Structure 1
Amino acid sequence: MADRIAKPEGRVHKRIISDQQKRLDIALQRQSQGRRDLQFHARQLVSLAVPLTSSSLFEAQDAVRVYQNQELEDFKADADYTQFDAEEENEVSMLQATKLKGIKAREWFKQQYMLPEWMVDVPNRLREDWYVMARPAGERCLVVSSNGATVSRLRNGRILHCFPSALPSGARTREAVTSSRVFCILDCVFHKPNSIYYVIDMMCWRGYSLYDCNYEFRHFWIKSKLEETGVLAPPSRWHHYQFKIVPAFECDKAGLKEAYNGIVPFERDGCLFLNRHAHYVLGVTPLALLWKDPASSRYHIDTDSKGNVPAYQQIVLEYQEDETVATCDDPKVVLGRMPQEFLRQNNQHLRPGLLLKFSIGDQGLSVVNGKPVTADIHYQGVANRYRASADTMSKVLFQFSARHCPLTISHILAAIETSNDDFEMDF
């Protein structure tokens, strides 16, 4: 690798075929073979997400402001932190979880989401086994209601809002005061232009864990349970933010049309595909797939800090103890090794887990049997300090394909069709 900028020269590329379907099959097999005790996990998450013991919402909001300021100071103090040991998270008790701060809190929270792979290949049985929804643009967050308060947390662990809501135990009611076992956890996107929380998934409802329920069941509960409360009503004194359900459609031609270019009250940022059999898996999973194109997203190709598409694809990789750089997948995919001269010059600054930014040069990626074997990467600098993790391999492949030979809506439609068109789609 050299520290230069390599610009593409119009090399002809074929559409990449990955091993995504193989990973999908393995993921389904694993979840059918083993189940985790996630009730304790959910209580631990709630305990950490709502660090409040106040007797009123106003005191709770003051407590959150103090907590946010403390988090900011911790973040500054953690600028040169030692990588948080993931095994330590498994030993965190509920009491200890409420005391997590700074980098440990952020590391813990970024592991609480089901994160989609990017759709590199169209999965088998797309029409039979998948749902599709329009993905709202905005800030992904966990919304937790417990002990008379509702708190939203971003992927980096920072508190976004503390507010009263109509979610169970989300405001100071008699139920919230008398029952500490009633809590809810929702996976949402906060759409700032209209200050609405769009619900894309549900993990707990009134203390009942849905982590090990398939998506089809969770989708049913999202619709039925939220409609029973006043949480979908417009904001009021006791309900500061409105929640709305993002419709999930059967992935047939009509459903794909609605998700892709149907009328939505938010800015669309691609389409999210969810396997109907998928549990809520923590971490990156091929049972959820993200796809974008120019018509469904302003940012289907990654941009720089000024919103411009760079001449070369930029990727973020994690520096490893063996001097290689890799993606954040499990297992990690190694894409290169840092040169010895670079290591000598930067030895005092390098540490395992450090995120580094690279560009992909003229030679691109070489993929064999669905996996990359070589990559023409060129060092660009240290990644943004606020970034939570390196890129996944599926994102690297998707972004590379989007620049050279993209997976189009026509490819997805062709996978759905099993006979002649029964009606015309107007894309």
Structure 2
Amino acid sequence: MEEILEKLSENSVSDGSNSPNSSQFSHYYKSGPTVNDQQKRRETILKDLKKKRELSFDKNRGHIVKEKQEGDEESMEWKNTHSTKKKKWYSKDYQNKLMFSEWLIEVPEDFQENWLCLPCPKGHRALVAATKENTEVYTKYGCLQARFQSCLPSGSRGNFDGDTILDCIWNFACKQYYVLDVLQWAGRDLTECEAQFRFFWLKSKFDELPKLRTANEHNKYPIEPLQYYDCSRLNDLARELYEFPVTSSQTSSPGVDGLLFYHKEYIYEAGFTPLVGWLKPYMLPEILSITWIHPEYLKEKPHDYTTLADHIDDSKKQKRNWWSVKRFNSNEKS
């Protein structure tokens, strides 16, 4: 292992010269921009964010920001998508709130200084909302999936600490929620806070509430924040990746689906963004020159995989074909 880490320290991150021109996430992660386009958009978004913060600071100086009142009503409605199916409960308040990544097609210029890495477990994306003494789980479309009691603020009877909203992964085999990010905690909006602060906040709050990490009478499912790594210390990440699997402190781990890369200064904003990147573990040698990963990850590489650039192009073609078939079938029915 020491030899491995030595090798990594010499060449843990590529300089971009060799950068290339099924997960449950595959259908809503990733667009496939060009390298230059992705870098330019990052710079533009960060500049706009800085200006927005400066204007907001000047505008709100000396004023108290009005928060959502406890009695405010949620916009909920029934939808019946098919006569033979059960009705589904949707909430407009939780529709389209999740933030999604793009493929990390090249190493950002400030990668070691300003980026964080989050190994992401296999499972289903979920928005977990603790509100009105209940904990509710929604899809990205705002469809209610589950309701239970938890130790999150406002997540159980007698708990009136303010609403909490988390961006999570639900793993059915482990019966556990893994926390990617936080939008709100005990009534405090954190979406305008930088990623580095949000991750620190999550860790500190979960350290204060150890019962969240286990299933108990007040907490139906374990809820655990994922460990993040500073991209200036990829040796630590490489060590974890070599000791397959990774993501959980528990003995039963769901294994890694991929790795999310967050810019430290970016806020939480719904939709796709180039300031959150995504790679499969088998892509690390190609993009980040991390070659010492567990062989199990390499087994997940598709037999026809060549480069990330080709993979993006193939995905685009498949998507276009899918839409063509769908339109054809729709025309046939009409």
2:229 match = 249
The residue correspondences of 1:193-204 to structure 2 (distance < 5 A) are: 193-204=173-184
Partner Cα separation in structure 2 for residue 298 and residue 187 of structure 1: 29
1:358 match = 320
The residue correspondences of 1:23-172 to structure 2 (distance < 5 A) are: 23-35=41-53, 48=74, 70-71=78-79, 73=80, 75-76=81-82, 105=91, 109-172=94-157
Matched, 1:286 2:286: no
TM-aligned CA distance change 1:122 to 1:255, over 3 Å? same
Matched, 1:382 2:322: no
CA contact under 8 A between 2:212 and 2:219: conserved in structure 1?
Answer: no
Per-residue deviation at 1:296? 4.2
TM-aligned CA distance change 1:101 to 1:170, over 3 Å? closer
The residue correspondences of 1:214-253 to structure 2 (distance < 5 A) are: 214-251=194-231, 252-253=233-234
The residue correspondences of 1:333-344 to structure 2 (distance < 5 A) are: none
CA contact under 8 A between 1:268 and 1:297: conserved in structure 2?
Answer: no
Per-residue deviation at 1:240? 0.6
CA contact under 8 A between 1:260 and 1:271: conserved in structure 2?
Answer: no
Per-residue deviation at 1:255? 3.5
Per-residue deviation at 1:42? 7.4
TM-aligned CA distance change 1:314 to 1:380, over 3 Å? farther
Deviations 1:120-170 (A, max 9, x none): 111112111111121111111111111110001111222121000000111
TM-score, length basis structure 2? 0.66
TM-aligned CA distance change 1:121 to 1:186, over 3 Å? same
Matched, 1:274 2:259: no
Partner Cα separation in structure 2 for residue 297 and residue 184 of structure 1: 38
Partner Cα separation in structure 1 for residue 261 and residue 147 of structure 2: 30
TM-aligned CA distance change 1:184 to 1:277, over 3 Å? same
CA contact under 8 A between 1:42 and 1:209: conserved in structure 2?
Answer: no
1:206 match = 186
SS at match of 1:193: coil
Per-residue deviation at 1:239? 1.1
1:315 match = 316
Moved more, 258-267 or 187-196: 258-267
Letter in 1 for 2:97: Q
After superposition, the CA RMSD in angstroms is 3.6
Partner Cα separation in structure 2 for residue 199 and residue 208 of structure 1: 17
SS at match of 2:145: strand
Letter in 1 for 2:82: K
Q: What residue ranges of structure 2 are gaps of 5+ in the alignment?
A: 1-18, 22-33, 247-252, 283-295, 305-310, 330-334
Q: What residue ranges of structure 1 are gaps of 5+ in the alignment?
A: 1-13, 52-66, 78-99, 304-309, 318-356, 360-377, 386-427
Letter in 1 for 2:116: Y
SS at match of 1:226: helix
Per-residue deviation at 1:237? 2.1
Per-residue deviation at 1:48? 3.9
Letter in 2 for 1:25: E
State percent identity of aligned pairs: 25
SS at match of 1:213: coil
Per-residue deviation at 1:206? 0.9
Partner Cα separation in structure 1 for residue 66 and residue 147 of structure 2: 24
Per-residue deviation at 1:315? 3.3
SS at match of 2:217: coil
Letter in 1 for 2:326: V
TM-aligned CA distance change 1:288 to 1:190, over 3 Å? same
Point out the structure with max Rg over C-alpha: 1
TM-aligned CA distance change 1:381 to 1:259, over 3 Å? farther
